[in-house]
Structure 1
Amino acid sequence: MARMSWQEACQLDVSLQSLNHFFSLPPSYAQTLTGGLTNRCWKVVLPDDNTYVWRPTTPITNAFAISRFQEYQLLSSIESSQIGPKAIFVNEHGLLVDWIEGDSLTSGLSFDSLLKTMISIHQLDTARVPVAPFSFTARVDHYWLQLKEEHKTEQVKDLYQALRSAPNLADVGSVLCHFDLAGYNMVKTEGANRVIDWEYASIADPRLDLTLSIHVAQVNPLESVYRYCQLCDISGADDWVEGVLAWLPRIKMMSMLWYQLAYQLWGDEKFLVEAQSIVNDLNGQNS
């Protein structure tokens, strides 16, 4: 993380200037935060040592259909659960949230521990969560429509067209889903594991959230589903197994489009490599 004076940080990222009227005294310093793919966030430290995270609104967040206002409303609605950071302030330039002090769980997190955190999110009261239901087709269409023709190869196009529709599944209800729950978005505190980066969160089929985390962690789908059902005291796991297996190729396709769009926006070859790896994986399954 690069540490610099507040004045230097404001010159580097002009969105920070929108906080000058919010703080009674200028922050002591700011640090760039590493690890986020979608966002380039800032750690902001005040003279009284109160610490925040600034999550700016950028062309990148807009490209991925991320709303800082929705993120603010969501975090405010689940504040009493203390599972996420406290939302402090939002404007058209970004979102300010509390800094969660603790150890990153990027490494050393068991999937069992992740599942327990996921379940605690899924059990939150959605009636108080003011976010729109998730539409898989609308999301992948949004990514696809922003891709330049040069990135719409025949392989990518075939997979998108084959997998853009949601599967026809038994209804298991809708819950609050984080949609990027992994160790890199979890912090170990004295009380419990807490979760950051709620920018993709929405109301959706819990099997979709579970499938995303299975895909990211590269763990055994069947074992993970059965363990989730055991922890939730769900007697019949068949609908859950069927759902996760049906969502898995679709989640991979959505991730492929995300990486293609990320490559288009940043020009970093690692995103193209990830996208192609998923293409090869899906084509290998379909062959």
Structure 2
Amino acid sequence: MARMAWVEACQLDRSLLSLDHFFTIPPEYAQTLTGGLTNRCWKIVEHNGAAFVWRPTTQITKAFSISRFQEFQILSAIEKSRLGPKPIHVSEHGLLVEWIEGTSLTDGLPFDQLLASLVQVHELDKQRIPIAPFNYTARVDHYWMLLQSHYKTEAASEIYQQWRKPPILADVGSALCHFDLAGYNMVDTGEQHRIIDWEYAAIADPRLDLMLSISVAEEVPEQAVFRYCKMRGIDGIDDWVEGVLAWKPRASMMAMLWYLLAHQLWGDDYYLEQAQQMQCDFCH
């Protein structure tokens, strides 16, 4: 993480200039934050020690259908739960949120603790969140449309076409979903586990969200679903197991397209290797 004077940071990222009217006195410094592809953010620290995170709007966020205004609405609606960071300010240039002080849970987070946080998210009152429901087909179609022709190989096209429609499942209701809940997006404050990086969050089938977290943690789906349902007091476990398993190839296809688009935008071979590995997994 590179720390630099505020003036220098503004020269590097012009979106920071949009905060000039927010701070009565220029901050003491800004610091780049390491993170995911779409999370090239800044930690901003004032002279009194108050700290914030600036989450800019860029061509990258637009390519991945990320809306800082939607992120602001979600964080505002769940603010009382203190699960996420407090939203401070939003504009066309980006979103400013509080900095959550604590220890990253990137390593060594027990899966049951991750599930407990996922349950908390899914049980939040979705009626208070004024956003449109997640459209799986529209999202993967958007990714596919943006890909250059050389990424659209016969194998990739076959996988995309086979899994671009959502599964037909028993209805278990929709919920607020984080869509990237793992230890790297959680902070231990000493009092509770809080969740950051809500940029992909949406109202959707919670079984898709559960599948995404299961995949990252490399857990056995059936066992993970049983533990999740036990935490929520859900009796109809079969509908949840069936749903999670049905979403599995679709979640993998969506991730494959994400990685292909990430490689197109950034050129880092890591993303292409991940996409190719997922294609191989489908072949097997």
**1:42 touches 1:54 (CA, 8 Å); kept in 2?**
yes
| AA at the equivalent of 2:155 | Q
| AA at the equivalent of 1:126 | K
- Aligned counterparts of 1:98 and 1:56: Cα–Cα separation in 2: 14
Residue equivalent to 1:175: 175
Corresponding position: 1:160 with 2:160 = yes
Per the alignment, in what secondary structure is the counterpart of residue 66 of structure 1?
coil
Residue equivalent to 1:219: 219
State how 1:105-184 maps to structure 2 within 5 Å.
105-184=105-184
TM-score by length of 2: 0.99
Per the alignment, in what secondary structure is the counterpart of residue 211 of structure 1?
helix
- Aligned counterparts of 1:236 and 1:67: Cα–Cα separation in 2: 35
Q: CA deviation at 1:191?
A: 1.5
Q: CA deviation at 1:187?
A: 0.3
- Aligned counterparts of 1:82 and 1:74: Cα–Cα separation in 2: 12
Write the deviation string for residues 82-118 of structure 1: whole angstroms up to 9, x where unpaired: 0000000011110000000000000010111000000
- Aligned counterparts of 1:80 and 1:39: Cα–Cα separation in 2: 24
| AA at the equivalent of 2:57 | T
- Aligned counterparts of 1:42 and 1:146: Cα–Cα separation in 2: 27
Residue equivalent to 1:204: 204
Corresponding position: 1:228 with 2:245 = no
Q: CA deviation at 1:185?
A: 0.4
Q: CA deviation at 1:36?
A: 2.2
- Aligned counterparts of 1:206 and 1:41: Cα–Cα separation in 2: 28
* Identity score, percent: 64
- Aligned counterparts of 1:37 and 1:113: Cα–Cα separation in 2: 25
- Aligned counterparts of 1:83 and 1:131: Cα–Cα separation in 2: 19
- Aligned counterparts of 1:48 and 1:154: Cα–Cα separation in 2: 57
Residue equivalent to 1:191: 191
Residue equivalent to 1:82: 82
Contiguous gaps of at least 5 residues in structure 2: none
Q: CA deviation at 1:132?
A: 1.2
Residue equivalent to 2:57: 57
- Aligned counterparts of 1:277 and 1:225: Cα–Cα separation in 2: 25
**1:39 touches 1:60 (CA, 8 Å); kept in 2?**
no
Q: CA deviation at 1:17?
A: 0.6
- Aligned counterparts of 1:248 and 1:36: Cα–Cα separation in 2: 22
| AA at the equivalent of 2:24 | S
| AA at the equivalent of 2:109 | L
Residue equivalent to 2:47: 47
Per the alignment, in what secondary structure is the counterpart of residue 65 of structure 1?
coil
Residue equivalent to 2:34: 34
Q: CA deviation at 1:235?
A: 1.4
- Aligned counterparts of 1:202 and 1:127: Cα–Cα separation in 2: 12
Per the alignment, in what secondary structure is the counterpart of residue 40 of structure 2?
coil
Contiguous gaps of at least 5 residues in structure 1: none
What is the RMSD computed on CA atoms of the aligned residues? 0.6
Per the alignment, in what secondary structure is the counterpart of residue 203 of structure 1?
strand
- Aligned counterparts of 2:94 and 2:260: Cα–Cα separation in 1: 25
| AA at the equivalent of 2:92 | E
**Farther-moved stretch of structure 1 (43-52 vs 215-224):** 215-224
Per the alignment, in what secondary structure is the counterpart of residue 171 of structure 1?
coil
| AA at the equivalent of 1:108 | G
| AA at the equivalent of 2:230 | Q
| AA at the equivalent of 1:47 | H
Q: CA deviation at 1:217?
A: 1.3
